[in-house]
Amino acid sequence: MAETYVTTAYERLQIAHLRWKKRREKWISRSREKVSFVLIPNDEKPLAQIEISVGMLGFLSGLALSLVLLSFGLLVYFSFFFDRNLSLEKKTETQLVSFLFYDLLSQDLTDSVEELESTTESLNLLAWEEIPEKEMITQDYLLKEEYRKDASELDSNLLLFQQVVTTYTQFGVRLGNLVPNFQNAIDYLSMRESIFYSMPRGRPLKPGVGVVTSTFGYRSDPFGILPVGEYHSGIDFAAGEGTPIYATGPGIIAVDTAVGGLGKSVRINHENGFFTLYGHCSLILVNPGDRVKRGDKIALVGQTGKATGAHVHYEVRIGLDAPLDPEEYINLD
């Protein structure tokens, strides 16, 4: 009986490897074979020949077939199976319209911001005279634009969002830089306005009432006692006895004292160190500590103290400084 030979698993593996290696060498050898394509022109030019390996031809054919199948698959999908998200499309269109609206609105805002910048500059010049706007605050305080844009890209509607955001970011920066300049000028002008309205202004008598009989400065002695004259520290308004005297500014009534022959007098302490004196009164209508407003009736004209007739002596002073010429403050109105 003949013996049968049984191959082992290792031997079968070696045989399969040799077969696969032989086939691979055959495929490689065949793929390296050249295929020629001849191009025949319509004119009399020479023929053009293109050589390409069989392997490369197979690769290009497979790639072309894959692209055709992919295109066909996408066409079928979008034609029969694709479900459009209408709500998303509507939302996108709404957002596009909104950004277009804000883009148009930004043009009007640009003009408004430029006008506000010009007004703020004028306000600063009014408040601070020759000081330029940029010197009002330090450069460290100035805001910087964090969102940058490329102007060449803004022609596309696809970047409308970036354009709108950039524009409004610039508005925020410009307005933010205007705030300290505007606020500084307003605060300064408000302070000046407060000082102005707290200062004594106008006449102690009603308009058209009384006649100025003696002005501020050196004058001859009305009693003829001093041959060289005397220094008159205020202005005298002659009026009939009992004519009302009014406060020329808001303040507090000081303690009633007679100063330098002024007889019955009223002193009003104003803000910022100002105070006014009203002398030669026949009757005082206020008490020390009373708070009065400009235009309040405080006394009546008389001729108490050193006086040659019925009149009110009016003085304006600041602290312990020498008397000021009241005419300057009367003319403030």
Q: What is the pLDDT of residue 135?
A: 46
In the predicted structure, residue 150 carries a pLDDT above the cut 70: no
Mean pLDDT over 277-304 rounds to 94
Q: What is the pLDDT of residue 170?
A: 76
Q: How confident is the model at residue 142 (pLDDT cuts 50, 70, 90)?
A: very low
The per-residue pLDDT for range 111-120, each reduced to its tens digit, is 777 777 777 7
Q: What is the pLDDT of residue 166?
A: 76
Amino acid in position 115:
E
Q: What is the pLDDT of residue 156?
A: 53
In the chain, what is the greatest distance between 2 CA atoms, to the nearest angstrom?
177
Integer Cα distance of 271 and 186 in angstroms: 20
pTM for the full predicted model:
0.51
In the predicted structure, residue 1 carries a pLDDT above the cut 70: no
In the predicted structure, residue 296 carries a pLDDT above the cut 90: yes
Q: What is the pLDDT of residue 145?
A: 47
The per-residue pLDDT for range 25-82, each reduced to its tens digit, is 877 777 777 777 777 777 777 777 777 777 787 888 889 999 999 998 888 887 777 7
Q: How confident is the model at residue 153 (pLDDT cuts 50, 70, 90)?
A: very low
Q: How confident is the model at residue 147 (pLDDT cuts 50, 70, 90)?
A: very low
Q: What is the pLDDT of residue 88?
A: 63
Mean pLDDT over 118-143 rounds to 57
Q: What is the pLDDT of residue 244?
A: 96
How many of the other CB atoms lie within 10 Å of CB of 271? 14
Q: What is the pLDDT of residue 225?
A: 61
> If 0-12 CB within 10 Å is exposed, 13-18 middle and 19+ buried, where does residue 239 land?
buried
In the predicted structure, residue 323 carries a pLDDT above the cut 60: yes
The per-residue pLDDT for range 210-267, each reduced to its tens digit, is 899 888 887 766 655 656 567 888 999 999 999 999 999 999 999 765 566 888 999 9
The per-residue pLDDT for range 160-206, each reduced to its tens digit, is 677 777 777 777 777 777 777 777 777 877 888 888 888 899 999 99
